Amino acid sequence: RQTPQAPPAAAPPTPAPPSPPPIIALRQVSKTYKNGAPALIDINLKLKKGSFLFITGPSGAGKSTLLKLLYGQERPTAGEVHINGQEISLLKGDQLAMLRRRLGIIFQDYKLIPRRTVAENVAFVLHAQGYSRKEIDRRLPLTIKMVGLQGKEDRFPSQLSGGEQQRASIARAVVGTPPLLLADEPTGNLDEDNARQVFNILRRLNDIGITVVVTTHNELMVRSLNYPVIQIRDHRLHHIR
């Protein structure tokens, strides 16, 4: 007689692959500046890699402060700021500098170096990151072309229009293929036509996988581009779309 055999054990369920950490996670973040004015109150936000996010809201609400927390220019008074799974308020000077170098950042006033040409402004970042001459020579023309500044590589910022300066600053921000691009009111000084060009470039960058976060007052662009929108109002975050 055969002894009854135990039925074969069911195969253990295959674990779901671990989901990647959100590229941005803010947990109960508040920021109060030294003079006592609250800039942000209890902000919770998660953003997946590859997203495009608009941040809107009235002046003084805290939008710039939120971006500054993301690139480590300011530290939260309370709460945690994670970029790619890394808690950035724990980073020391060097580590923070390294993180910042890996992010692309664009400002309303471009912040190009006046005494350097477009090509030099853009290449500078790659030098600082230790790219080889050969790699710089490969990346530079591609990036300049992507922002439509071919033929203007040797101009100084003062020889460019506002829209062109902003496009040069975008080239500088993305030439090192950052995972995350932060843009603080990038079209604040531009007319509609130039603003549209800038947003088209941001869209294309998002299409190739770069996560883009933009603060803006440009209602027209927010309405015409169907991306998620959050609003900072009274220093608190409201989900809009």
Distance in Å, CB of 238 to ligand ADP, minimum: 13
Instruction: Report which secondary-structure segment, H or E, holds 187.
Output: none
Distance in Å, CB of 74 to ligand ADP, minimum: 8
Among residues 34 and 134, whose Cβ is nearest to ligand ADP? 34
Distance in Å, CB of 94 to ligand ADP, minimum: 24
Footprint (CB under 6 A) of ligand ADP, residues 65-84 = 65
What mask, x for binding ligand ADP by CB under 6 A, covers residues 97 to 126? Answer: ------------------------------
Among residues 68 and 139, whose Cβ is nearest to ligand ADP? 68
Among residues 59 and 226, whose Cβ is nearest to ligand ADP? 59
Among residues 164 and 184, whose Cβ is nearest to ligand ADP? 184
Distance in Å, CB of 236 to ligand ADP, minimum: 12
Distance in Å, CB of 214 to ligand ADP, minimum: 12
What angle do the packed helices 118-128 and 162-174 form, to 10 degrees?
Answer: 20
Among residues 32 and 129, whose Cβ is nearest to ligand ADP? 32
Among 1, 77, 92, 88, smallest CA distance to 42 is for 77
Footprint (CB under 6 A) of ligand ADP, residues 8-67 = 33, 35, 37, 39, 57, 59-65
Specify whether the CB–CB gap between 31 and 73 falls below 8 A.
no
Question: Rounded to an integer, what distance in angstroms lies between the CA atom of residue 119 and that of residue 236?
Answer: 40
Among 221, 179, 219, smallest CA distance to 198 is for 221
Question: Rounded to an integer, what distance in angstroms lies between the CA atom of residue 222 and that of residue 212?
Answer: 14
Instruction: Report which secondary-structure segment, H or E, holds 195.
Output: helix 192-207
Among residues 197 and 216, whose Cβ is nearest to ligand ADP? 216
Q: Retrieve residue 174's tokens.
A: 């993305």
Question: Rounded to an integer, what distance in angstroms lies between the CA atom of residue 53 and that of residue 47?
Answer: 8
Applying CB under 6 A, what is the total number of residues that bind ligand ADP? 13
Distance in Å, CB of 178 to ligand ADP, minimum: 21
Footprint (CB under 6 A) of ligand ADP, residues 176-235 = 232
DSSP 232: E
Pairing outcome for strands 52-56 and 38-47: unpaired
Question: Rounded to an integer, what distance in angstroms lies between the CA atom of residue 54 and that of residue 80?
Answer: 21
Binding site for ligand ADP (CB under 6 A): 33, 35, 37, 39, 57, 59-65, 232
